[in-house]
Amino acid sequence: MIHRSRSGQSLVEVVVVTGIVMLILVALVAGAMIAVRNSQFSRTKARAMQLSREATEWIRSKREESWSEFASHGGNYCLNDLNFNTPGNCPTKIDDQFTRQAVLVKESSEKVKTTVTTSWTDSNGYHSEEVITYLTKW
């Protein structure tokens, strides 16, 4: 009888283990990529909300300066520079990424609806954050 030693690994066992390790590594890398993408999206969304709040506060300050002048501003405005000098679409972007626009609608002699929209496009497509505020005459 010939005595065989079973102390080594067979080629099939090595290939199977290598395949399993590769699958685990691919799953870990994919998970890390998704986490980084979600983190970046969260930062971008937070910046968009900050820009929308900033514009809303600026509009509120214009209301406090003079209601009659504020109420005369109706329509669409680009608020990248926080002024009512740029009606319509925004020719430039904030931080080379965001576009911030406002729509002011006079609902009555003492009430104006403002909608501030900050939008951006990334590898996942178009996104926007919208803040709607009703401002009234004090």
Taking all residues of the chain, what is their mean pLDDT, rounded to a whole number?
Answer: 90
Confirm whether 87 is domain-assigned: yes
> Model pTM?
0.75
Distances (CA, A) of 77 to 35, 37, 55, 105: 36, 32, 11, 11
State pLDDT tens for residues 16-59: 999 999 999 999 999 999 999 889 999 999 999 999 999 999 99
2 located within any domain: no
Q: For residues 128 and 122, is the Cβ–Cβ distance under 8 A? A: no
Q: Residue 98, SS3?
A: strand
Say which residue the tokens 């820009």 belong to. 51
**Token pair listed for 117:** 């929209």
By three-state DSSP, how is residue 94 classified? strand
- Domain span at residue 26 reads 11-136
Q: Do the beta carbons of residue 128 and residue 118 sit within 8 Å?
A: yes
- Considering only CA atoms, give the Rg of the chain: 28
For residue 4, tell me if it sits in a domain: no
**In this structure, is residue 61 part of a structural domain?**
yes
Count of domains in the chain?
1
User: Is residue 5 scored above 80 in pLDDT?
Assistant: no
Confidence at 6, pLDDT banded by 50, 70, 90: low
Q: With bands split at pLDDT 50, 70 and 90, how would you rate the model's confidence at 3?
A: low
